[in-house]
Amino acid sequence: MNEHATPHSDNATQVSLDFPGGWKGWVKTGEEFLFSAEVGHRLTLPNVGTWREWLTRMLDAPVDLPGSMLLKHSDSSPILRARIACKGTGQCAGLDVVVRRFEPRGALARMVAAMRRSEASRLRFKADRLRGTGILTPTPLAELHRRFPFGSSILVLPYVADLTDLDQIVLTLLPRLRDPELNRAKRRLMEAVAELCGLLQFHAMPHRDLKASNVLFRGWDSPNPALVLLDLEGLQFRRGGATSDPLFPVVRLAASLMSHRSLTRTDYLRFLRVLTSCSDWNERDARVLYRSISAAAEDYNRRARLRKKDKLDRPFGE
């Protein structure tokens, strides 16, 4: 296995590795921040030998890794949580990670995947760009890809504990609060989400799947909750600062929240007033935006129900 080390930051080194079966990639060693140099504690990473041993076992039998847990079952993009047990002095006692594996299905998908940048590399690029804007997302720690014959790739991220997604907060946690704590918590959450949407629009990075389950908070009920964005497949980049439909990410987010009764019209208007103040929509009236976004979100959910019904109504095997 070949190795080539490149300094990546003040305390982390990126090491290139080759593995049997045509797998190539890199790992980080040393110390790296969980999110960025400004936010999040430092992670002490495994050394090259530990990375090599663990990745070799993971490539051979990912489900049999000690402490592994399947977070999302999918034939094309399963997500696994695992723990890297570090040995020797000067290493971490153990590192919890999330493994995202991408396996194109079908001959055409494999051919396309083999000729372009791997899915893991695309996600790593998106994470780096996103962190450069000040939006928090976990730091990629390792990446592997195999161009032929399958176009497969793997991205390893740190597992971030104590995160609660917005969907769970709105559905189960907010209803437990009473005024004035309830109003203060909703104000903080709506302002943080509005600032996220404003930043994405300002940097011309629309997210086509900005739903509540992809927006997570660390310390959601604290005076300064930290917002973390996950699941970056839907993140896009627009040249020249223009987006094809700047309202769509907000519509998608509203569609995922509109059935929760703990959020009121007042909360949505507060969200839109913050959004218009930190974006180029400052000439728009929040009440007009609320009506148009509500109608679009209802239409989005209606079409989603029809698609689901059509899929369920098909005879088995079609």
* Strands ordered across the beta sheet of 163-165: 163-165, 215-218, 226-229
Q: Tell me which DSSP letter residue 173 carries.
A: I
Distance, in Å, from the CA atom of 44 to the CA atom of 206, rounded to the nearest integer, reads: 33
Distance, in Å, from the CA atom of 94 to the CA atom of 81, rounded to the nearest integer, reads: 13
CATH numbers and ranges of domains, the chain: 3-158 (no CATH), 163-312 (1.10.510.10)
* 3-7 vs 12-19, strand pairing mode: antiparallel
Given a contact cutoff of 8 angstroms between Cβ atoms, the answer to whether 287 and 269 are in contact is yes
Given a contact cutoff of 8 angstroms between Cβ atoms, the answer to whether 250 and 297 are in contact is no
Structure tokens at 23: 């797998």
Q: Which residue has the higher pLDDT, 196 or 38?
A: 196
In the block, which residue shows the tokens 């390792």? 142
pLDDT of residue 88: 58
For 245-284, b/e burial (b = at least 16 CB within 10 A) is ebbbbbbbbbbbbbebebbeeebbebbbbbbbebbebeee
Q: Which residue has the higher pLDDT, 285 or 227?
A: 227
Given a contact cutoff of 8 angstroms between Cβ atoms, the answer to whether 5 and 15 are in contact is yes
pLDDT of residue 317: 41
Amino acid, res. 292: S
Given a contact cutoff of 8 angstroms between Cβ atoms, the answer to whether 251 and 293 are in contact is yes
Tell me: pLDDT of 310 over 70. no
Distance, in Å, from the CA atom of 84 to the CA atom of 46, rounded to the nearest integer, reads: 8
Assign 206 a pLDDT band (cuts: 50, 70, 90).
Answer: confident
0.85 exceeded by the pTM?
A: no
Tell me: pLDDT of 303 over 70. yes
pLDDT digits (tens, 9 = 90+) for 98-114: 999 888 877 777 777 67
Question: pLDDT averaged over the chain?
Answer: 83
* 79-84 vs 95-102, strand pairing mode: antiparallel
Single out the residue of 287, 297, 295 nearest to residue 251, CA to CA. 297
